[in-house]
Amino acid sequence: ADRLEVAYPLFRTFYCRYLSRLHTISTEPATLMPLCALFEHLVSTTAPHVVFHLAEMGPDAAPLKIAFPWIVHGFVGYLRADQVLWLWDRVVGFDSVQLIAVLAAAVFTFRSRVIMSAKTPDDVAMLFTNLASFQAIPLLQGFLFSTELANFSGTSNST
């Protein structure tokens, strides 16, 4: 699929079906506003201490302020190209752009300990300036299945 006449129609279809939702300001499911709400809900549920710490710093340290560009751009320009393609593969496979918001929450949760040491909004922003070393699928899996993994490791230790 390295020929433009094959790749372009595929990408156009992908953009129209999925990525255009990231640029649609609406309350319709799987558009920008519900994705931002999903991100905020996931972060506040999985890392409430981080949300409280950032809230104490003011609106410049709000998690959504940092994650919004990731969501709008589908992580393009933030993750390595191969990781973006792995993420998009899951978006197509699960037929849902919600995975983009879930990955954004996973990044915050993964960095939660380091975020807690940040003193200013600039410190927080600095923690997320380079996501090139992040691997999308392991982060998603760890975030989505963390309770199952904890239960599995707990049962294996008791045998």
pLDDT digits (tens, 9 = 90+) for 134-149: 999 999 999 999 876 5
Task: State residue 148's pLDDT score.
Answer: 65
Q: Which two tokens stand for residue 128?
A: 């997320």
Looking at the DSSP bridge assignments, the partners of residue 159 are: none
pLDDT tier at 90, thresholds 50, 70, 90: very high
Residue 126 neighbours by CB under 8 Å, 6+ apart: none
pLDDT at 157 over 60: no
Fill in the DSSP letter of residue 119. Answer: -
pLDDT tier at 159, thresholds 50, 70, 90: very low
Q: Looking at residues 70-83, what average pLDDT do you find?
A: 98
Q: Rounded to an integer, what distance in angstroms lies between the CA atom of residue 57 and that of residue 145?
A: 31
